[in-house]
Amino acid sequence: MRYLVTGGAGFIGSHLCQFLLDKGGEVDAIDNLQTGSLDNIAHLLNRKGFRFFKEDVKNAMQMESVFLEADSIFHLAAPVGVKFILHHPVTTILDSVKATECVLNLAVKYSKPVLLASTSEVYGKHLDLLDPDGNGRLKEDDYRVEGTTRNHRWAYANVKSLTEFLAFAYYREFGLKVIITRFFNTAGPRQKSDYGMVIPNFVQAALKGNNLEIYGTGQQKRSFIHIQDTLSALWALSNNTNAYGQAFNIGSPEEISIRELAEMVIQLTQSSSGITSLTYEEAYGTGFEEMNRRTADISRLKSLTGFDLNYSLEDILRDVIQFEQTRLIG
Ligand SMILES: NC(=O)c1ccc[n+]([C@@H]2O[C@H](COP(=O)([O-])OP(=O)(O)OC[C@H]3O[C@@H](n4cnc5c(N)ncnc54)[C@H](O)[C@@H]3O)[C@@H](O)[C@H]2O)c1
């Protein structure tokens, strides 16, 4: 099998390339290095069966040649991270849609199956009145609640929703074999802190003895899944033809408050760091809106594929701490 991974030099993409090579596949990775980095794939560049193209996914001519050779496509390339999205509002909207359109067009033209990376952001704000179970876990077909279009924070959620609509439309109109995966905070080694990702930010601060910065009260809750569990889920779905035309949550059903997460990082790193609070305005500027909960219901993924989580939050933190410690020394 030859796989095409867009966003292959990113955090999830670089791990996926390695995973697919380890499974005996050949892998073409495309990335424009907008938020990704060659460091992420340096260890793969000399591996047999791996090719890297520094290219934009929107460049249909270049994409066409790699599409021709691919048996299966993982489309992960997209603007990512709250800070990147707030600082690049136009790129966030246009790039996501145009890149996805390009991938879906070529996939139809050459009859190739596609797995599309979406996000738990599409659910928008958690509202208790839409959560009859009270456990905060979001199901794939739940209603979505999003804020005003004046607030760019919601553009990412809407643009990712639009790419989902587009994928479902290609499925219905052209019979495209497409699977939509909604990631809920995947974390692990190599994730960058630059664009506002909480775990690498906390771990780097704790290792340097700096205070960990919490935005808002810190009572907002999130769930985290280890990159290796995400890869297992992607593999299980991409090998299951019954997944075509459906969306799947990929995440953990266990939630933790951001303050508890900060305390856990300080304890595991044995750091002398403290915790400071910033308002959302101080962190992101005026008009930012936060979600109070963001937890995955993964029963659809489990019942179709038999998937189960193998890594705990502590495993994630220990792996990130080890990675960041090595980076600090090196
Ligand atoms: N990591 C998470 O927790 C998480 C959560 C929700 C959704 N996602 C989704 O997963 C995917 C991968 O995210 P990630 O965390 O690995 O982020 P990342 O920033 O590390 O990876 C995205 C990669 O795409 C590349 N890219 C962006 N636009 C491109 C374009 N037009 N052409 C070529 N390359 C381009 C970037 O350079 C980067 O390497 C994204 O679609 C993202 O929306 C991730």
Q: Who contacts 46 (Cβ-Cβ below 8 Å, separation ≥6)?
A: none
Integer angstrom CA distances of residue 42 from 4, 141, 325: 18, 39, 19
pLDDT at 288 over 80: no
The string of DSSP letters for 72-84 reads EEEE--S--SHHH
The pLDDT, as a whole number, for residue 192 is 87
HSE (CB half, 13 Å, CA atoms) of 7? 24
Could you tell me where the DSSP H helices lie in the chain? 11-22, 60-69, 82-87, 89-109, 153-174, 198-208, 227-238, 258-269, 280-284, 299-305, 313-329
Among candidates 42, 11, 29, 26, which has minimal Cα distance to 226?
11
Q: Which two tokens stand for residue 295?
A: 């937890």
136 SS3 class: coil
Q: Is the CB of 252 under 6 A from ligand 1?
A: no
| Cα 298 to middle of ligand 1, angstroms | 22
Asked whether 35 lines ligand 1 (CB < 6 A), one says yes
Tell me the backbone φ, ψ of residue 42, rounded to 5 degrees.
-55, -40
Q: pLDDT at position 283, please?
A: 79
Residue to mutate, 39, 55, 76, 291, ligand 1, most ligand atoms under 8 Å from C-beta: 76
CB-neighbour burial class of residue 125 (10 A; exposed 0-12, middle 13-18, buried 19+): middle
Higher pLDDT, 282 or 322: 322
Please tell me the predicted confidence (pLDDT) of residue 84.
84
pLDDT tens for each residue of 68-78? 999 999 999 99
Which of residues 279 and 321 earns the better pLDDT score? 321
pLDDT score, position 107? 97
Q: Is residue 32 lining ligand 1, measured as CB closer than 6 Å?
A: yes
Which ligand 1 atom is at minimum distance from the Cα of 120?
6
pLDDT digits (tens, 9 = 90+) for 125-175: 877 767 777 888 999 999 998 888 988 888 889 999 999 999 999 999 999
Q: Is 12 in the pocket of ligand 1 (CB under 6 A)?
A: yes
Mean pLDDT over 254-265 rounds to: 97
For residue 271, the CA-to-ligand 1 centroid distance in Å is 31
Question: What would the mean pLDDT of 101-129 be, rounded to a whole number?
Answer: 93
What per-residue confidence (pLDDT) applies to 292?
83
| Domain over 2-188+225-254+295-310 is classified CATH 3.40.640.10 | no
Question: Is 41 in contact with 11 (CB distance < 8 Å)?
Answer: no
pLDDT tens-digit series, residues 171-211 = 999 999 999 999 999 999 999 887 778 999 999 999 999 99
Is residue 156 flagged as an active site residue? yes
Question: 28 or 81: which carries more pLDDT confidence?
Answer: 28
Half-sphere exposure (CA, 13 Å, Cβ side) for 86?
17
